[in-house]
Amino acid sequence: MDYQGRQRRLREVLSQHRLDALLISHLPNIRYLCGFTGSAGSLLVTKAGTVFFTDGRYTAQSRAEVEGARVVIARKAPLIATAEWLATNRGRFTGRKPCKIAVEAEHLTVATGGRLAKALPRAFRLQATSLLVERGRMIKDSEEIARIRKAVLLGSSLFDHMLRAIRPGTKEMDVAAELEYSARKAGAQEISFPTIIAGGKRSALPHGRASAAVIPSRGFVVCDYGVILAGYCSDMTRTVHVGRPPGEARRLYHVVREAQAAALAVVGPGIGIAKVDAAARKVLRKEGLAEYFTHSTGHGVGLEIHEAPRVAAGEKEVLRPGMVITIEPGAYIPGQWGVRIEDMVAVTERGCEVLTPTRKELIVI
């Protein structure tokens, strides 16, 4: 991975914002910038160099993984160790005073921020910043796309096995367990979020995590799951029907499928992201179902299952080659049923590539 290039681009952002350094506490951002995959660390990116702080549990791992940063094994919490390092090395920061040390407002708790401010000498001032690293992460390079593609294909390869577990009377949890076991056996590091298996009336819950409820003899089952492979997440949803679907159910399914196709059709470089959301919503509105589409059309996926950009109304972001997003419209009639169809898609120079290969015609079990 091009850690040096990522850090270089981040330094450009820092100088644009007149910041002297960025203190990163969000682990996916740390991984993105230096390769560390452990659970405790902080990364200080200054104009002159990058220093990574972790604790004694990660001595060997950090030496093996971290690229483009000096490693400091600290006895204290990594963030406090970073503050102490700044105090000791304040001579390296020349120029205007106080030095502005950016922190990640989205990821730093008020308590930790307070402790950090206390531990820093007066020559430094903390500056809240937002999504400086995440904005870079939106554009995936070819190595990242390759990893995402593999994660998506692994996720899709489990679909038929999962279908065989969906039978009337089976607990949703047992379907999820079967799926997750097969994911591990197939080489997934872990699942990317709690598996959603929502049958019958529960299919109307957009985030119906697999529960002890049983699959009914007739009705939709929303299956939304993902795996993590080499650090990168996959995310897909298919909705299947157990028993013969009534005409109304078929209609609902086909409208959602049409909405998903309409959104996919507008994905391409230079397209305002709100337009993608609007395309899906338009189809549902025409069928009188707009009020039942209660979430946004999609989200970015990468090292995290939900990351920038959001694919939603009012978003100002413009699609660029290298972005990987989901397209997942749905319609949920409370107390009755719900349908969602979700693919992952990569924005390319000329348009887009749908990464999820799984079929989308209504599957009847």
Choices 89-97, 122-130, 278-286, 335-343; region in contact with Zn ion by CB under 5 A: 335-343
State how far the Cα of 338 lies from the Cα of 25, in Å rounded to an integer: 39
Give 166's contacts (C-beta < 8 A, 6+ positions apart): 175, 197, 199, 215, 221, 223, 240, 242, 365
- The single-letter code of the amino acid at 12 is E
- The single-letter code of the amino acid at 256 is V
- Here the tokens at position 94 are 């020349």
Taking the complex as a whole, how short is the minimal distance between the CB of residue 237 and Zn ion, in angstroms?
5
- 41 vs 208 by CB, closer to Zn ion: 208
Taking the complex as a whole, how short is the minimal distance between the CB of residue 328 and Zn ion, in angstroms?
5
State how far the Cα of 25 lies from the Cα of 29, in Å rounded to an integer: 8
Contact at 8 Å (CB) between 142 and 342?
no
State how far the Cα of 162 lies from the Cα of 266, in Å rounded to an integer: 31
Taking the complex as a whole, how short is the minimal distance between the CB of residue 257 and Zn ion, in angstroms?
16
State how far the Cα of 132 lies from the Cα of 7, in Å rounded to an integer: 11
Count of residues that bind Zn ion according to CB under 5 A:
5
Choices 125-133, 213-221, 264-272, 323-331; region in contact with Zn ion by CB under 5 A: 323-331
Give 91's contacts (C-beta < 8 A, 6+ positions apart): none
Cross-sheet strand order for the sheet of 298-300: 307-311, 298-300, 324-327, 343-347, 352-354
- 86 vs 152 by CB, closer to Zn ion: 152
- 104 vs 342 by CB, closer to Zn ion: 342
Choices 11-19, 33-41, 221-229, 313-321; region in contact with Zn ion by CB under 5 A: 221-229
Q: Is 235 in the site for Zn ion (CB under 5 A)?
A: yes
Work out the number of other CB atoms within 10 angstroms of the CB of residue 30.
Answer: 24
Choices 26-34, 140-148, 269-277, 324-332; region in contact with Zn ion by CB under 5 A: 324-332
- 54 vs 326 by CB, closer to Zn ion: 326
Q: Is 224 in the site for Zn ion (CB under 5 A)?
A: yes
Choices 33-41, 180-188, 220-228, 260-268; region in contact with Zn ion by CB under 5 A: 220-228
Taking the complex as a whole, how short is the minimal distance between the CB of residue 203 and Zn ion, in angstroms?
14
- 156 vs 326 by CB, closer to Zn ion: 326
Taking the complex as a whole, how short is the minimal distance between the CB of residue 342 and Zn ion, in angstroms?
5
Residues 120-159 that bind Zn ion (CB under 5 A): none
Pairing relationship of beta strands 227-229 and 352-354 according to DSSP bridges: unpaired
- 172 vs 342 by CB, closer to Zn ion: 342
Handedness of CA 119, 121, 127, 133 (dihedral sign): negative
- 203 vs 326 by CB, closer to Zn ion: 326
Among 326, 345, 355, 363, binds Zn ion (CB under 5 A): 326
Choices 72-80, 110-118, 168-176, 321-329; region in contact with Zn ion by CB under 5 A: 321-329
- 144 vs 224 by CB, closer to Zn ion: 224
Q: Is 343 in the site for Zn ion (CB under 5 A)?
A: no
Q: Is 192 in the site for Zn ion (CB under 5 A)?
A: no
Taking the complex as a whole, how short is the minimal distance between the CB of residue 106 and Zn ion, in angstroms?
19
Taking the complex as a whole, how short is the minimal distance between the CB of residue 20 and Zn ion, in angstroms?
37
- 11 vs 340 by CB, closer to Zn ion: 340
Choices 210-218, 232-240, 246-254, 266-274; region in contact with Zn ion by CB under 5 A: 232-240
- The single-letter code of the amino acid at 174 is D
Taking the complex as a whole, how short is the minimal distance between the CB of residue 222 and Zn ion, in angstroms?
10
Q: List the end-to-end C-alpha distance of the chain, in Å, as a whole number.
A: 43
> DSSP letter string over 121-186?
-TTEEEEEE-SHHHHHHTS--HHHHHHHHHHHHHHHHTHHHHHHH--TT-BHHHHHHHHHHHHHHT
Work out the number of other CB atoms within 10 angstroms of the CB of residue 95.
Answer: 7
Taking the complex as a whole, how short is the minimal distance between the CB of residue 64 and Zn ion, in angstroms?
32
Residues making contact with Zn ion (CB under 5 A): 224, 235, 237, 326, 342
